[in-house]
Chains A and B, each alone.
Chain A
Amino acid sequence: MTSRLYRDEAVVIRSYKLGEADRIVVMLTRENGKVRAVAKGVRKTHSKFGGRLEPLSHVAVQIHRGTNLDVVNQVETIDSSGRMFGDLDVMTEGLAVLEAIDQLVPDREPVPEIFRMLVGVRKTLAERPSALVVPAFLLRLLASEGVRPELDRCVVCGEVESESTPLVAIDLERGGVQCRGCRSGVGVTSGALALLRDVLDGRLGEALDRAHRPGEQVLDDPVVVEVASIATRAFEFHVERRLRSVAIFERHDARSDS
């Protein structure tokens, strides 16, 4: 008989209350994809799992495969979400990342590449947070799904960017940028276009370094704001749903500015 226990590495995505003191924990695992499992008694103060199964925690788990729902058996922390607690912006950004993954990834389908990206983005959020982290993650997530927006040539006439034919707009329904003659989407500045290319063409590290200034969040950089709006719309267009945590976060910004 095969063992009904399995071990995996996981990042907790979200959790729902179940009954008096239990929770259903949804996590993205390295080998088993998105898994739902019951964590018994986690809401009690004497719980043996305690704060290890809070969203954003990176853990090693042992899970018992049940007939209906799996049950979490043991949890060990690899990297706790503690570093992100205490900063509202980082926490909300982390939750936006988790929501995006929850919407995109189907249950029980191994997605090692997305798992690797999730572990990476956790680290980035904790170590060099900036307003660019979430949009960059959304764009890379879309690229890994095979829906990378075309950024180098007009999606209508195929013209490559040049002095005489600048690429001035982006139409997400058509899948990328457009020149002045073919324009049907919303306008895009050359700065935002350059940043989009940095994010998607392997210069993400440098772009994040520029966006991150120690001790402060660069929320008002107009280029980052523009890229963030494009990334959110592109993602929402692809999954055909609104990202709720991003919507709440945008309202925060409006308030803390005023």
Chain B
Amino acid sequence: MASTYTLPVQNLIDHLGRLPGIGPRSAQRIAFHLLKLPAEDVQRLTQAITDAKERVRFCSQCFNFAEDDLCPICADPRRDSSVICVVEESRDIIPLERTGEFKGRYHVLLGVMNPIEGIGPDQLKMRELVMRIGSEDVREVIVCTNPNTEGEVTAQYIGRLLKPFDITVTRPASGLPVGGDLEYADELTLGRAISGRRRLDD
């Protein structure tokens, strides 16, 4: 099919269309918006992309995104180094930080175990987690993988892996979302909420 656009415009639309959640229509709209922008705005955008790609790497300790050798959380001396929260991806750190409940450090696995897809512990930062337990003064590991089958398999595996160490391995409670109706809760979530109930006077 012959393109109706000149080659550079078509090229831009094709590249934008490869971004997640951007269909052909949105790609076209963004492309025309970019073409209308002043040159310096476009320059700032390309610079931001290049900078991010060049300067951001993985934290050598927890595999979160970092600008230096350590990410801001690992570099912060006020964080409690005796608690490690294990998450699947860097983006999972953001909602956890927003709760303000967690003051420890993180460990990003960069994925989740998925037996059917053939993703096992060796493809994840599992060995690095065990090495951290050995070298840092860790008392507790909170396994905060997603509460679905893959996340659960990963959590159980970590539990088994860390058994030889003298530390507590915990999993966040599963339960009812605040603002939700009991009537619409699924049996699995409600069942776990019941079995993990707590005393009112605590």
Residues of A at the B interface (CB closer than 8 Å) are: 14, 19-20, 45-46, 48-52, 54-57, 77, 80-82, 85-88, 91-92, 95-96, 98-99, 102, 244-245, 247-249, 251-252, 256
User: Cβ of A249 and Cβ of B115 under 8 Å apart?
Assistant: yes
User: Cβ of A99 and Cβ of B187 under 8 Å apart?
Assistant: no
B188 within 8 A of A: yes
Q: Provide the bound-state CA to CA distance between A256 and B156, in Å.
A: 13
Question: Given A80-B188, A80-B191: A245 and B152 within 8 A (CB)?
Answer: no
From A77, A82, A92, give the contact of B192 (CB < 8 A): A82
Query: Can you list 9 A-B contacts with CB-CB less than 8 angstroms, sorted by A residue number?
Result: A50-B188, A51-B188, A51-B189, A56-B149, A80-B186, A80-B188, A82-B188, A92-B153, A99-B115
B110-130: CB near A (< 8 Å → 1, else 0) gives 000101111010000000000
- Looking at the complex, which of B24-32, B51-59, B84-92, B177-185 is the stretch in contact with chain A? B177-185
Most buried by A among B120, B149, B157: B149
For B157, list chain A residues within 8 Å (CB).
Answer: 88, 252
User: Cβ of A80 and Cβ of B148 under 8 Å apart?
Assistant: no
User: Cβ of B147 and Cβ of A51 under 8 Å apart?
Assistant: yes
CB distance from B121 to the nearest CB of A (A): 8
User: Cβ of A92 and Cβ of B115 under 8 Å apart?
Assistant: yes
14 new A-B contacts at CB < 8 Å, known A57-B188, A77-B187: A20-B21, A52-B187, A54-B148, A54-B149, A80-B188, A91-B149, A95-B115, A95-B153, A244-B118, A245-B116, A245-B118, A248-B115, A248-B120, A251-B120
Which residues between 112 and 164 of chain B lie within 8 Å of chain A, taking CB atoms?
113, 115-118, 120, 147-149, 152-153, 156-157, 159-160
Q: Provide the bound-state CA to CA distance between A81 and B148, in Å.
A: 11
Q: Provide the bound-state CA to CA distance between A256 and B116, in Å.
A: 21
Which residues between 165 and 202 of chain B lie within 8 Å of chain A, taking CB atoms?
177, 179-180, 184-189, 191-192
Q: Provide the bound-state CA to CA distance between A191 and B159, in Å.
A: 35
CB distance from A4 to the nearest CB of B (A): 25
Q: Provide the bound-state CA to CA distance between A247 and B189, in Å.
A: 31
Q: Provide the bound-state CA to CA distance between A50 and B120, in Å.
A: 26
From A45, A81, A244, give the contact of B149 (CB < 8 A): A81
For A85, list chain B residues within 8 Å (CB).
Answer: 149, 152, 188
Main secondary structure of the interface of B (DSSP, over half): helix
Q: How many A-B residue pairs have CB under 8 A?
A: 83
A248: nearest residue on chain B (CB-CB)?
B120
User: Cβ of B177 and Cβ of A14 under 8 Å apart?
Assistant: no
Which residues between 75 and 123 of chain B lie within 8 Å of chain A, taking CB atoms?
113, 115-118, 120
For A55, list chain B residues within 8 Å (CB).
Answer: 149
For A249, list chain B residues within 8 Å (CB).
Answer: 115
User: Cβ of A96 and Cβ of B115 under 8 Å apart?
Assistant: yes
Q: Provide the bound-state CA to CA distance between A91 and B115, in Å.
A: 10
For A92, list chain B residues within 8 Å (CB).
Answer: 115, 153
Q: Provide the bound-state CA to CA distance between A86 and B120, in Å.
A: 18
CB distance from B191 to the nearest CB of A (A): 5
Q: Provide the bound-state CA to CA distance between A247 and B114, in Å.
A: 12
Question: Given A46-B177, A88-B156: A54 and B115 within 8 A (CB)?
Answer: no
For B118, list chain A residues within 8 Å (CB).
Answer: 244-245, 247-248
